[in-house]
Every structure is written in structure tokens, then in C-alpha cells.
């Protein structure tokens, strides 16, 4: 069964948060994608220069966007905060490449399985 992606609204438009593909994908128009690398990292959040007409990242020169009603800056939480299950899935994927092994002193440790 395919996992249902979390949804985050950007300026009133719902987008799926797709961590595995590194993008937001508009719920009603899945072809409309905003890659995470279109956002600016600001420490504990991201900022997206968002074009309300295209419902996507603004593609023009930032100086040209000043005063445009269709362009706004949207503060977005870190994508990991938008998808609380991602950490468990990443750890599960990493763990699938590990094998538990008993050391001579009786303790256990994870050992990477070569592929």
C-alpha cells in the first residue's frame, strides 16, 4: 500500500510534501511541482518567493518582483517538520543496509552489509 503524503498549504493552495522527491506537488494539479531547492534556507525555516498566478516559485528577477501583488514571500517550516514520518522511514532504509553482529566482548553492534 502506498503511503499517503502529508499536505501543506502554500498561500491557500494545498501541496503534497514529497520528501523522497524533494518537492511540493500541488494536490489538484500534480504536474505543478516546487522543488525544495527553489527555497532559501533561513536557519530553522525556508522562504519561498511564491508567484500566486503560477502557484509556483517566482522565476523572474527579484528586483522586478518588488510591488507585484501576485508575488509574495512565504515562510515554510523545514520539510522534515512537515513530514513527521520521514525520520522513521530514513532510519528504516539505513537500517536495511545494516546487520547486527556480536562482538568478542558480547556486545552487539551494527555492521554495514556490502552490496
Over the stretch 40-80, which tens digit does the pLDDT of each residue have?
999 889 999 999 999 999 999 888 888 899 999 999 998 77
Q: What is the mean pLDDT of the chain?
A: 82
Q: How far, in Å, CA of 59 to CA of 40, rounded?
A: 14
* Band of residue 114 on the pLDDT scale cut at 50, 70, 90: very low
Would you mind telling me the total number of residues written for the chain in this entry? Answer: 115
pLDDT digits (tens, 9 = 90+) for 84-106: 777 666 667 666 555 555 555 65
Amino acid at each position: 500500500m502506498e503511503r499517503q503524503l502529508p499536505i501543506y498549504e502554500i498561500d491557500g493552495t494545498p501541496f503534497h510534501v514529497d520528501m523522497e522527491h524533494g518537492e511540493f506537488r500541488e494536490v489538484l494539479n500534480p504536474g505543478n511541482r516546487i522543488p525544495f531547492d527553489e527555497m532559501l534556507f533561513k536557519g530553522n525555516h525556508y522562504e519561498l518567493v511564491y508567484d500566486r498566478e503560477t502557484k509556483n516559485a517566482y522565476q523572474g528577477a527579484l528586483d522586478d518582483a518588488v510591488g507585484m501583488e501576485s508575488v509574495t514571500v512565504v515562510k515554510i517550516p523545514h520539510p522534515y517538520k512537515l513530514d513527521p514520518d520521514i525520520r522513521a522511514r530514513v532510519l528504516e532504509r539505513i537500517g536495511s543496509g545494516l546487520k547486527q553482529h556480536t562482538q568478542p566482548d558480547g556486545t552487539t553492534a551494527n555492521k554495514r552489509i556490502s552490496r
